[in-house]
Structure 1
Amino acid sequence: MDIGSEYLKIVIKRFKEAKVTAEKAIEQLTESELFWAPNEESNSVAIIVKHMSGNMVSRWTDFLITDGEKPFRNRDDEFMGDIQTKEQMMELWEIGWNTFLNGLKSIEEEQLLKTITIRNEPHSVMQAIERQMYHYSYHIGQIIYVAKFLKSSDWKTLTIPRKK
């Protein structure tokens, strides 16, 4: 077994699973619930999705040869509530995930230890992948938490139900 190719296979599978899990939570929400936030300092599901997409596109476009913080990215704008529909939100979601997953799929095992930059900081490609695993899991957890809160007793569990 080749450890590098096995690692890439596993992380791609885990990221795809995380994406599907978030989508199952999002599917349970009405359009208006996607834009709900408990207060001005908190983010709605739509804003979390917009931020994740912006991060994915910035980090994973030409990631082997350019800094992961692209000049075209305006991170602060990602937290502005200008998405109007679920369709717009899901379009951003797919753009981000397609950019990210295509980037992951393009990695050759010998590139895992190659040094790339994110915000002018050196990272191995493997470190960059793990950085994103942490970041995207964090936000997917937020999406699920908000969805579960809003659906309350109507929530359809995403994993093994309690007492099963």
Structure 2
Amino acid sequence: MALEFTTSYLEDALAIFRQYKTLGERAMQQVTDEQLFASFDDESNSIAIIAKHLTGNMRSRWTDFLTTDGEKPSRNRDSEFVDPPSTREALMREWDDGWACVFVAIEPLTDADLGRTVTIRGEAHSVMQAINRQLAHYPMHVGQIVFLAKHFAGDKWQTLSVPRNKSAEFNRKVATGEVSQR
């Protein structure tokens, strides 16, 4: 995804959310179904559990975003860390549904909405603060997904950014338009 210059906070926030959605998907594509559900130990989360948690958070935070608390009474956060969907296909449907909640909530917003008040767990946030909160949360978990996927893929891993020891070559390709920066 090519970086598009913008001074619009909302356009940039949406671009970052889309970038991390894609990053997580590209990482998950590189692992087997077994690896998607594997964890290091009983205290660690699998990729599937992390994705399930993100989905639960997204549904809660972004459904009726401007009118209801972002921590919905129907959300059972603890259940997000057990029993992920049983197949890759089901997990990816959930993943897509969660991200759809993000985009449906943010895409219609305007700059005038950024100062509106929303609540998360009873605490007041401006719309901008609520978006920033999730812009910090989701990339952290996508980073966990990437870390686990890279570990499990081993020498089959296809880099998601600038390849190791290839910065100069990558910069040359960006300068000549052969590749995009994102």
TM, length-normalised to structure 1: 0.95
Cα distance in 2, alignment partners of residues 63 and 134 from structure 1: 18
Partner residue of 2:12? 10
SS at match of 2:71: coil
Q: CA contact under 8 A between 2:84 and 2:91: conserved in structure 1? A: no
Cα distance in 2, alignment partners of residues 105 and 149 from structure 1: 35
SS at match of 1:16: helix
Counterpart AA for 2:73: P
CA deviation map 1:45-98 (0-9, x unaligned): 100111000000000001101000011111011011242100110011001000
Partner residue of 1:20? 22
Partner residue of 1:34? 36
CA deviation map 1:89-148 (0-9, x unaligned): 001100100011111102121110111100000000000000001100110000000000
Counterpart AA for 2:138: Y
Which consecutive segments of 4 or more residues in structure 1 shift more than 3 A? none
Cα distance in 2, alignment partners of residues 150 and 115 from structure 1: 42
Partner residue of 1:54? 56
Structure 2 portions without partners, runs of 5+: 1-5, 167-182
Cα distance in 2, alignment partners of residues 106 and 29 from structure 1: 35
Partner residue of 2:171? none
Which structure: greater helix fraction? 1
SS at match of 2:143: helix
Cα distance in 1, alignment partners of residues 83 and 152 from structure 2: 19
TM, length-normalised to structure 2: 0.86
Counterpart AA for 1:131: R
Cα distance in 1, alignment partners of residues 23 and 80 from structure 2: 22
Cα root mean square deviation, aligned = 1.1
Picking from 46, 66, 69, the partner of 1:67 is 69
Structure 1 portions without partners, runs of 5+: none
Counterpart AA for 2:100: N
> Structure 1 residues 132 and 152, CA, compared in 2 at 3 Å: closer, same or farther?
same
